[in-house]
Each structure stands twice: as C-alpha cells, then as structure tokens.
C-alpha cells in the first residue's frame, strides 16, 4: 500500500485480556520497527525486524510481549495478560533499510481498563 | 542519563519569529540523525535528515555537531502550522534508533 497501515486504530482491553496489533508495512520495506509511546513521551523502541528475522527485541518490556513477522511483510505485536501500564499508543514504522527515513503508521491506541 | 535528550519546552513564539532547539546524544558511534514532527494524536512524520555538512529545506535548517554530540533545528519565519512536537532521532545501528522525548512548539498569532 501507499503507507504503513495499522489496525485496530483503537483497542480497549480488560486487564488480563490478550490483544493482537497488526502492522502492514509499505511494500518492499525490509526494516520494520515497533514502538510504544506513552502520553507526553517520545516513542520507545520495542523490537526490530529485518524481513522475517527479529534481530532485536531488547525493548520488549516483559515476556508478555511477543512480535512476529513470519513472511517478512505483515507483523503482529501480541500482548498477553494486559495490564494497565500497557496502555499506550503502539506505533509501527517501516523503512527500506538503515540510514533511510522511517514511515510510521497511525498507531494503535491501547487502553487497558 | 537518557541517550537522546531534548528540552521539552513548550516554546511559545509569535508568528514570523525564528526559533531553534537542540538535541544532545550520548553515543558517539551514532551514524544517522533525523528530525521528526508529531502533531497531537498523530504519528511522527519525517521532517528532515541531518547531515554533517548541515542541510536546509525551505525555512528549516538542521545541523549536526559531532564533536559536541548535538543536533539542532532552526525554523525561520515561523507559521501557525509549525505548531507541533519536534522529535530528535538518533540511529547508531540498523536496529538501534532512539527518539528524544520531543520539544513542544506553539506559534501564536
């Protein structure tokens, strides 16, 4: 597609519920990133894929967070047993490669109640 | 100490003014630098890359000072539409891309 597409746009989850957030990057973009952005803060790195390989997951805050990109295109970020502190905007970005600019999706605003 | 630091602002300046803000980074091995703009409840959008020689795009000028490890953004003849949060981005490897917390800019009529 023309841009990075994320769904759902908004998600309200009850504490303890599992959620799955989807990112559809720009076609042909090798690099894919997930970021978490809390209100009033800059995006915080979660994980990075190069094609289907998850090369860096050092930013995932706990083992409840899991990301995959099995065919090197669409990626899913899964959060198990959601907690209130998981409430944030989750941004996906893709790029042709290192040193190029990154195009962000509109994000998924997750609210855990 | 955060790897990328910015003055959170807000900077509140009149239309037509020139405004500048800096961003400092701690990793001397950092390779690529960017400024992103983020409007309220929107995703960040690339404003410009920052090169060692400095670069200009219309009213916007970005500069990199590797010796002092900071980058700057200058906005001349500011417009109401420039009101946004400006995010400094520093990349030190393919995966290590760090965002600052952002500087809020508000342009008043």
Task: Decide if A97 and B43 are in contact by the 8 Å CB cutoff.
Answer: no
Task: Decide if A42 and B45 are in contact by the 8 Å CB cutoff.
Answer: no
B93 — contact with chain A (CB < 8 Å)? yes
Q: Write out the two tokens for A84.
A: 């209130």
pLDDT of residue B72: 96
Provide the pLDDT confidence category of residue B26 given band limits of 50, 70 and 90: very high
First to last CA, chain A: 33
pLDDT of residue B54: 87
pLDDT of residue A102: 85
- Contact between A38 and A46 under an 8 Å Cβ cutoff? The reply is no
On the question of pLDDT at A1 being above 60, the answer is: no
Please state, for a pLDDT cut of 70, what percent of chain A lies above it: 97
As a whole number, the mean pLDDT across chain A is 94
A42 — contact with chain B (CB < 8 Å)? yes
Task: Decide if B94 and A101 are in contact by the 8 Å CB cutoff.
Answer: no
Q: What is the DSSP letter of B24?
A: E
Which pLDDT tens digit goes with each residue over A24-37? Answer: 999 999 999 999 99
Mean pLDDT of all residues in A75-104: 91
On the question of pLDDT at A99 being above 70, the answer is: no
Shortest CB distance from A42 goes to which of B45, B87, B96? Answer: B87
pLDDT of residue A107: 96
Task: Decide if A97 and B46 are in contact by the 8 Å CB cutoff.
Answer: no
């Amino acid at each position: 597609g023309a841009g990075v597409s994320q769904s759902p746009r908004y998600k309200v989850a009850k504490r303890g519920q599992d959620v799955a957030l989807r990112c559809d990057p720009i076609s042909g973009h090798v690099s894919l990133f997930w970021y978490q952005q809390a209100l009033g803060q800059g995006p915080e790195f979660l994980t990075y894929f190069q094609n289907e390989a998850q090369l860096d997951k050092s930013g995932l805050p706990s083992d409840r967070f899991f990301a995959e990109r099995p065919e090197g295109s669409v990626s899913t970020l899964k959060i198990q047993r959601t907690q209130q502190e998981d409430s944030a905007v989750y941004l996906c970005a893709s790029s042709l490669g290192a040193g190029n600019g990154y195009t962000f999706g509109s994000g998924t605003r997750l609210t855990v109640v | 100490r955060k790897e990328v630091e910015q003055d959170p602002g807000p900077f509140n300046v009149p239309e037509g003014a020139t405004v500048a803000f800096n961003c400092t980074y701690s990793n001397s091995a950092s390779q690529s630098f960017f400024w992103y703009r983020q409007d309220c409840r929107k995703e960040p959008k690339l404003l410009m890359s920052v090169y060692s020689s400095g670069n200009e795009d219309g009213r916007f000028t970005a500069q990199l000072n590797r010796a002092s490890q900071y980058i700057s953004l200058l906005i001349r003849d500011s417009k109401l539409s420039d009101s946004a949060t400006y995010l400094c981005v520093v990349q030190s490897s393919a995966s290590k891309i760090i965002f600052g917390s952002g500087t809020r800019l508000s342009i008043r009529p």
